[in-house]
Amino acid sequence: MAEYRELVGQVMDELGLALTSVNPEAVTSLRQDILDARRIFVAGQGRSGLRMQAFAMRLMHLDLNAHVVGGVTTPAVNPGDLLIVGSGSGRTESLVHYARRAHDLNAQVSLITIASESPIGKYADSVIRIAAASPKLETPENERQTVQPMGSLFEQALGLLLDIVVIQLMDDLTTDQTAMFARHANLE
């Protein structure tokens, strides 16, 4: 069994490779899409979905109009809105449906994924690709071994990528943590 510190090093190395695989221009484009959108909707399933929900929370902290698809208070999607989907495989059926529906409603669709050429990718106006190993996909990245189980590498890289986007949006919006914290839930 590997020692704790050895695993920390391996996981951090894997995350570094995954995050540096991302095209910076695609991230800049996503930021601009977020800033230009009337409203932002996020979607994901499982652990990726949890990362997307956390991102929606931070967008709200930035005073942006953000919603999680499937929530009981989520409004209708319209032209001028942006749907951001986080899906390692790019083929989760419910997410394919959301992307297709948003596309049909003339909303913009962005996908963050391992698999650019996926069913969701067909409906996406923009794609951010994270190079990560996944047991669900037959891609060159699967030739690279990961010490992490299942889709953990993608899920962790997704969360960190979205946190980096938030840091950049803070600069774009000339806001700081004090202003963001003032919007944090206070019925705790």
Domain regions of the chain by residue span: 25-178
Catalytic residue among 3, 6, 138, 155: 155
Known catalytic membership, residue 141? no
The single-letter DSSP state of residue 71 is -
Mean pLDDT, the chain, whole residue set: 94
86-107 pLDDT tens trace: 999 999 999 999 999 999 999 9
CATH topology of domain 25-178: Rossmann fold (3.40.50)
Q: What angle do CA 107, 49, 163 make, to 5 degrees?
A: 85
Contact between residue 139 and residue 114 where contact means Cβ atoms under 8 Å apart: yes
Q: How many CA atoms lie within 13 A of 78 on its CB side?
A: 5
- Reported confidence tier of residue 147, pLDDT bands at 50, 70, 90: confident
Q: Which amino acid is at 136?
A: K
Model pTM score:
0.94
The residue among 139, 168, 169 whose CA lies nearest residue 154 is: 139
Q: How many CB atoms lie within 10 A of CB 102?
A: 24
Q: Residue 80 pLDDT more than 80? A: yes
